[in-house]
Chain A
Amino acid sequence: VGCTAADLVTAIRAVAVTVAEHRVELIQLDRAIGDGDHGENLDRGFTAVLAALDAATPDSPSAVLKLVATTLISKVGGAAGPLYGTAFLRASNAVKDRAELGPSDVVEALTAALGGVVARGKAELGDKTMVDALDPAVKAAAGDSVASVLTAAADAASAGADATVPLVARKGRASYLGERSAGHMDPGARSTSLLLRAFAEVAAQ
């Protein structure tokens, strides 16, 4: 069974709930190695996404993703806004004109999202950024259903986020801390794994 625009809206709403639930955790992670606003900013962004989804009825998965993208870029601010926004924007472009998303469409969307994040942030694997969650997620994304693709991606993202703990940051504000950035999970990698987990759980229902 494919993922329709309505299914995707349901998933995005679940993502917003997850972000709100983990707001304090993300703030604490970011306070350790960044400026402490990641949870606040992301929560504000997805609250705005909920309002945008209430106000409009995008008629395709691509249109849903684009609405999320533009809302996040304008409401999240800092670097996370353009990074997540570009991820959703590239995903939107990757699945244009498709009424429903099948497993291979989801893989394409995730691949495009990673390409956007890398292009925008210029981070590589191991730099202690959201790429460390998203890159393994894309590599693991495979399966014969949308749910299995997303579950595989979420599992890999979660492991990737855990693996950022010992890393020394080489991109973003955490890189200013040098060696002292080691010993903490990267908040961007954590939020990426949370987003993918929320998508996977909705898809599995």
Chain B
Amino acid sequence: VTMVGLVVVSHSATLAVGVVEVAAQMAPDVTIVAAGGTGDGGIGTNFDAVTAAIEQADGGAGVVVLYDLGSARMVAEAAAELADNAIVVDAPLVEGTVVAAVSAQGGSAIEDVAHAAESAAGEAEMIEPESVGIVGAVDVAGGMGVAAAPLADIIEFVEASVTLTDELGLHARPAALVARTMTGFDASVTIRFGEATADGRSVLALMALGTRGGDEVRISATGPQAAEAVQVFQDLAARNFGE
């Protein structure tokens, strides 16, 4: 699978490299290129460097470009305008790059990676107890009898409880692994911990659950591949998410 590439544009070369370093740990197969600084050691942005970074990051599936502040947006947008297939996103640099990287690692298309990055800003508010949307939305008792054939495919609803063994719970790397794995399934996956819920494809929401070792989380999934998604989550947990 050709993955979407990422470019991190920053006024500082060091900052761009650091952001790439963090995101790369969670998405080892995604090409993430740093384009920071003026090119001669100064603070600023360099159009030629951004253009070259976009070319380098594009493996054929396009490039999502993130920027830090001010004129970096204009430089990124001008470079994207001249590139074959690049989208500049307005997202918090660190969170947005991490989320975009995980989404790209999961094989998402360029529009979805861009959307994932842009949603990073509002993720904290999404983790409300009320947002048990998936569970509430599936009216199993009332819906089954009258459901048309296609609806039967998406009505599959699977749940399981899993106890976390790692003392840090679903911290960054496990959360990233879960998010990008769940992205690959045709299923809506929700992880619940106490009153909090998280979209199984959202690395930030998973981390924000604030789990610790010994905590029990509940995974629920709907959709054609709900059972597979839940099974794989259980398998990942059994292997302590590769930690």
Residues on A lying within 8 angstroms of B by beta carbon are: 70, 73-74, 77-79, 81-83, 85-86, 89, 120-121
Contact = CB atoms under 8 A, between A and B. Distances in A.
Contact of B82 (A78, A81, A83, A89): A89
A89 B79 CA distance: 11
B44 A77 contact: yes
B151 interface: no
A191 to B, nearest CB: 16
A83 B70 CA distance: 13
B71 A79 contact: yes
A73 B71 contact: no
A102 B201 CA distance: 55
B76 to A, nearest CB: 9
Nearest to B44: A77
B38 interface: yes
Given A78-B44, A89-B82, 19 more contacts: A73-B47, A73-B78, A73-B79, A77-B44, A78-B71, A79-B74, A81-B47, A81-B75, A81-B78, A82-B47, A82-B71, A82-B74, A82-B75, A83-B74, A85-B47, A86-B77, A86-B78, A89-B81, A120-B74
Per CB-CB distance, the 7 closest pairs between chain A and chain B, nearest first, are: A82-B74, A74-B47, A82-B78, A79-B71, A73-B47, A74-B48, A73-B78
12 contacts: A74-B48, A77-B45, A78-B44, A79-B71, A82-B47, A82-B71, A82-B75, A82-B78, A85-B47, A86-B78, A89-B81, A120-B78
Interface of B: 38, 44-48, 70-71, 74-75, 77-79, 81-82
Contacts of A70: 82
A89 B83 CA distance: 13
B78 A85 contact: yes
A35 B120 CA distance: 33
A175 to B, nearest CB: 12
A121 B78 CA distance: 11
Contact of B74 (A74, A89, A121): A121
Contacts of A73: 47, 75, 78-79
A31 B79 CA distance: 28
B201 to A, nearest CB: 32
Contacts of A85: 47, 78
B44 to A, nearest CB: 6
A85 B79 CA distance: 10
A89 B51 CA distance: 15
Contacts of A89: 78, 81-82
B67 to A, nearest CB: 12
Nearest to B70: A79
A47 to B, nearest CB: 17
A63 to B, nearest CB: 14
Contacts of B48: 74
A121 B70 CA distance: 10
Contacts of B78: 73, 81-82, 85-86, 89, 120
A48 to B, nearest CB: 12
A77 to B, nearest CB: 6
A173 B71 CA distance: 10
Nearest to B46: A74
A131 B74 CA distance: 16
Q: Which of A70, A77, A82, A121 has the most CB of B within 10 A?
A: A82
Nearest to B48: A74
Contact of B77 (A74, A78, A120): A120
Contacts of B75: 73, 81-82
A85 B77 CA distance: 11
Q: Which of A74, A78, A83, A120 has the most CB of B within 10 A?
A: A74
Nearest to B49: A74
Contacts of A86: 74, 77-78, 81
B52 to A, nearest CB: 11
